[in-house]
Structure 1
Amino acid sequence: MRNNLMTIIKKELARFFGDKRMVFTTILMPGLLIYIMYSFMGSGLTSRFEADEDYTYRIYAENMPSTVSAMIKGSDINVEYLDRDGVSEEDMKQAVTDKDAEMLMVFPENFESDVLAYDSMTATTPAPQVALYYNSADTESTACYQIMASVLDGYEASMANKFDVNSGDEEYDLASKEDSTGQIFSMMLPMLLMIFLFSGCMAIAPESIAGEKERGTIATLLVTPMKRGQLAMGKIISLGIIGLLSGISSFVGTMLSLPKLMGTESNAMDASVYSVTDYILLLLVILTTVLVLVGALAVISAFAKTVKEAGSMIMPLMVVVMVISVTSMLGSGAPKEFYWYLIPFYNSVQGMTGIFDFSYSGINIVACLVSNLIYTGILSMVLAKMFGSEKIMYS
């Protein structure tokens, strides 16, 4: 009995480790995929929330005392103090909201004398207040706020905490609802959508192609008086519809749950900030992306003899798509150059990113849609050629 047990164990281990592709996809691929994705996500989050070291921060300052100005100068950051002549405080706040300035710093008129005269033990009035207005949806503004808050915290500690920074009920974060929503959605949703779309297409494409070969029913289809191109396109369109429905279902669920997932108040993230045009463009990008995904998965599945083998062969493409999807977290928005939107999968991710953060160009979205349709046509022709090959279909 023991010999029989050992025989079975050796046989199964030999079968598994004798298949290099299975060893790679089962043992090496998961760790490699996690390492690559987490590395990209780490660098992406860093670049999203940190400004360049040599960036020059544009600041409006009211009644800034010379001591604070000297401390800022000594902190080795580049600061440009914007001209306030003829500019109202509301206009300065609007400039921060519009990302034309990184910060508005407001000090009391007699700040230094008020601080020296203030005694927290006997005072009956609040300590002098310093207001730092910033835009949390702007990477540079957020970095500027962190730097200035740190400088003032040090100064406050040296003055025995005789003044306060951003205290009270006033709203100091001037980011608009569109900016806040666009920042979070453009960072998270393109990546999640690509994962959902790929998962949905992967669940149906191998079964439709490799599954037909495995069951022997593909032969019946191939002997019908139907052009191979029509068969290939019919497969891709039908699978694309199913994949699209799966992707839309996942998208709706994600949009509804993302505010709670991010721990953000409901009034800070609102999908209603997007127009009907934005949603139509997003749907078109998703639809053409699904067609490319289905076409690529169908071609790969046509090489496989079984659904299980097709799943193993698809794994490298999954790694590529997952890595590309993480690029939505890199940088500060979609690229402006036209040629980026001709790269399959990358164009879809950046197209979604541009739509979500309101930075898309109509020409770039059209380039994305047209190139996706061209790639779908090419994959359909390749699949049709494969359907006409007995060596591939009946091997």
Structure 2
Amino acid sequence: MWQVYIKELIELLRDKKTLFFIVALPMVIFPVLFGLMGFLGAKAAVSEQEKVIRYLLVNESAAPEFASNLFYHNDFKPVKLKLETEAEIIEAIKANKLDLVIVLNKDFKTQFDNSETSVWKAYFNGANLIGGIKFKMQNALAKFNEDLQLQIFTNMGFDQAQFAAFKKPVDIEQFDTADERESFGEKIGGLIPYILIPLCLTGAMYPAIDLGAGEKERGTIETLLLTPISRFSLVIGKFLCITTTAVMTALITIFSMVFWSFIVGQLLDVKVVSEILGSVGILDYGLIVLLLIPVSAIFAATLLAISIYASSYKEAQNYMGPLSILVIFPVIVGMTPGVSLNLTWSLVPIANVSLAIKELLKGTIDYSLLIPIFASTGFFALISILFCVHWFNKESVLFR
């Protein structure tokens, strides 16, 4: 068994494709990819915030104070267009002639004097996720509304202090009992298993294809079966080799995340990142790795069984494709708001590991729940291994 394990592992490590998925992908490509995504996202957000909104007011004479506020606002720039119908307004925005059109109610002054709410219409493209146009418009309108409210209360004999008290009779001074680690873990803790667990699957997938369907395609499966090694030892040796590559992928990914987070924290002088990562103890990092071992074992056994059944590389890849999608669903549980680790969730494979990693990063895990997590995940891993051994002993599968 160990001879098979060492032989297969050495051969895999000689394969450039395997090394790419085990080492290069988690160590270099993913950090660069996520860093680039973060940079572009931040750049887009800054660009949206700095964007000057081209606007048009229809019936602006109804509220000259509001028109004046927008005209002298740094975030807004007036555009001279003649738009009379709603269709013309929508078409102008779609043609990128302007960004915002606000149609004021002609009877605003009369409605204000009669203590009635005046309804205005705003047209803009709200497809942007950042929503800079809507945010800036609401801020400008909120300031105008506040000025009107102050005017009403001043006419009624109230001063600014009384107006402020009336506007906000109760103010709350907030004290967050969650430390930085817990807040950090809650926000991105669900994302970490979303990266780690699929990477374990990827780290097991290509070695599994090579050690199963690859043997068939190369015509070496018959030679392997003639060696004085039991089929059980052959399967377990291959299984351990695939599990090792999956765990290695996870280990390198964890190291890469910690390493690059420290580097980014130091370069950008964001000490909080280094402090939070430093607050996660060696025990917790070790438990994260241990949690990934039975998950990797499930993937290794399942993928090896699929690979043994397939007659070629291409067929094996076709069978394994849907598995990549199925794995995502239980992993997403860790990212679902309001879902926390309990006894019920600790018995659900993959989802339990996803939630446990999130709780470990937050520092709020109930360590007693690790027992059912390891027990349930280990049980499913054992079932997968036994099925794989049974599958390997069927001549109809090996020589199909």
TM-score (norm 2): 0.53
Q: Counterpart of 1:366?
A: 371
In 2, Cα distance between equivalents of 1:314 and 1:175: 42
1:1-395 to structure 2, matched below 5 A, reads 158-159=149-150, 175-257=178-260, 265-267=270-272, 270-336=276-342, 338-395=343-400
Distance 1:248 1:217, change over 3 A: same
**CA deviations over 1:164-186 (Å, ceiling 9, x no partner):** 99xxxx99877522223222331
| Deviations 1:10-39 (CA, angstroms, capped at 9, x unpaired) | xxxxxxxxxxxxxxxxxxxxxxxxxxxxxx
What whole-Å deviation, never above 9, does each CA across 1:77-129 have from its counterpart, x for those lacking one? Answer: xxxxxxxxxxxxxxxxxxxxxxxxxxxxxxxxxxxxxxxxxxxxxxxxxxxxx
Q: What is the Cα deviation at residue 332 of structure 1? A: 3.1
- The letter of the residue matching 1:304 is A
Q: CA deviation at 1:306?
A: 0.8
Partner Cα distance (1:318, 1:198) in 2: 7
Overall identity of the aligned pairs, in %: 22
Rate the CA distance shift 1:153–1:179 in 2: closer, same or farther, 3 A.
farther
Query: What root-mean-square deviation, in Å, do the aligned CA atoms of Structure 1 and Structure 2 show?
Result: 3.4
The one-letter code of the counterpart of 2:222 is A
* Structure 1 moving runs of 4+ over 3 Å: 152-165, 170-175, 255-261, 263-266
Counterpart Cα distance in 2 of 1:252 and 1:202 = 21
Contact 1:181 1:268 in 2 (8 A): no
CA distance in 1 between partners of 2:292 and 2:303 (Å):
16
TM-score (norm 1): 0.54
Task: Please report how far the alpha carbon of residue 340 of structure 1 lies from its aligned counterpart in structure 2 after TM superposition.
Answer: 2.3
- 8 Å contact 2:203–2:246 — kept in the other structure? yes
Quote how far apart the aligned CAs of 1:265 are.
4.0
Report the CA distance between 1:159 and its aligned residue: 4.4
Cα gap change, 1:359 to 1:348, in 2 (>3 Å) = same
One-letter code aligned to 1:352: I
Higher helix proportion: 2
Q: Cα deviation per residue 1:300-359 (whole Å; 9 max; x = unaligned)?
A: 1111001111111011111111222222110235331x2322222222212212222223
Q: Pick which of 287-296 and 344-353 moved more.
A: 344-353
- Displacement, 1:375? 2.0
**Matched residues in 2 for 1:357 and 1:314: separation?**
33
Assess, with a 3 A threshold, how the Cα gap between structure 1 residues 186 and 391 changes in structure 2: closer, same or farther.
same
1:258-278 Cα deviation digits (max 9, x unpaired): 6869x9944156211112221
8 A Cα contact 2:250 2:289, kept in partner: no
Deviations 1:240-288 (A, max 9, x none): 1111111211222233446869x99441562111122212211110112
State which drifts further: 173-182 or 242-251.
Answer: 173-182
Hey, what's the Cα distance between the residues in 2 that align with 1:153 and 1:226? Answer: 81
Displacement, 1:221? Answer: 2.1
* 1:19-77 C-alpha deviation (Å, 9 max, x unpaired): xxxxxxxxxxxxxxxxxxxxxxxxxxxxxxxxxxxxxxxxxxxxxxxxxxxxxxxxxxx
Return the alpha-carbon distance in structure 1 between the equivalents of residues 176 and 359 of structure 2. 24
Distance 1:153 1:377, change over 3 A: farther
Gaps in structure 1 of 5+ consecutive residues: 1-151
Q: In terms of Rg, which structure is larger? A: 2
Distance (whole Å) between structure 2 residues aligned to residue 264 and residue 187 of structure 1: 25
Q: 2:326 and 2:215 mapped to 1: Cα distance?
A: 26
- Figure out how many residues of one structure are paired with residues of the other and give that number: 239
Partner residue in 2 for 1:133:
none
SS at match of 1:267: helix
Unaligned stretches of 5+ in structure 2?
1-141, 152-159
> CA, structure 1 residues 207+365, in 2 after alignment: closer, same or farther (shift >3 Å)?
same
Contact preservation (8 Å) 1:334, 1:359: no
